[in-house]
Amino acid sequence: MQKLLILLCLVLSVTAKANFSDSAKLYDPNANAEADIKAAIIKANKAGKQVLIQAGGNWCSWCLRFNKFTTEDTQLDSAIKANYIVYHLNYSPENKNKEIFMKYGFAQRFGFPVFIILDRNGNRIHTQNSSYLEEGKGYSKTRVLDFLNSWTPAALDPQNYKNY
């Protein structure tokens, strides 16, 4: 029994290290967020997309869970890729990116992850508290898809509302 317990602990430890290793790549505390966001805005402008900033950190289980949820679901992944350039803005003890959060209205007040939508010109058009997207111990596909679809370039194009 003791050997089984030790083996189980070893397997869990290796799995946790593998998961941490993968997730450590999501947020970079050493990144130049201002330059990276400017590059995302340029890319979004050229592609006719919005910028979706997912703010959080590698320490945040809900941040990692959201990324996994949206990248593993083909419909959500397609909606994001079709309409957004994604940037993962780090918030951690090593780098809180205070100036960036100040610029975007102190989005960290909503907790993490928090989503900031910029139009293709870099103007903040929405900040989303992620708790409204949650369901149980995960995220609601319906709510996340509604959120994503509500802020696409097409959803905000006045030409799509001429007949209203």
pLDDT at residue 82 greater than cutoff 50: yes
The band of 5, judged by pLDDT with boundaries at 50, 70 and 90, is: very low
Q: Which amino acid is at 121?
A: N
Lookup: tokens for 33: 């967020």
Dist CA 152 CA 52 (whole Å)? 10
- pLDDT given for residue 2 in this prediction: 52
- pLDDT given for residue 36 in this prediction: 98
pTM of the predicted structure, to 2 decimals:
0.85
pLDDT (tens digit, 9 = 90+) per residue, 120-161?
999 999 999 999 999 999 999 999 999 999 999 999 999 999
Segment holding 48, helix H or strand E = none
Ordered DSSP codes for 100-142 = HHHHTT-GGGG-SSEEEEE-TTS-EEEEEEGGGGEETTEE-HH
Strand pairing class (84-90; 114-118): unpaired
What lies within 8 Å, CB to CB, of 63 at 6+ separation is 26, 27, 54, 56, 57, 112, 113
Q: Counting Cβ atoms within 10 Å, is residue 144 exposed (0-12), middle (13-18) or buried (19+)? A: buried
Q: Could you tell me the residue ranges of all domains in the chain? A: 26-151
The band of 119, judged by pLDDT with boundaries at 50, 70 and 90, is: very high
pLDDT (tens digit, 9 = 90+) per residue, 14-58?
444 444 444 458 999 999 999 999 999 999 999 999 999 999 999
The superfamily in CATH containing domain 26-151 is: Glutaredoxin (3.40.30.10)
- pLDDT given for residue 1 in this prediction: 52
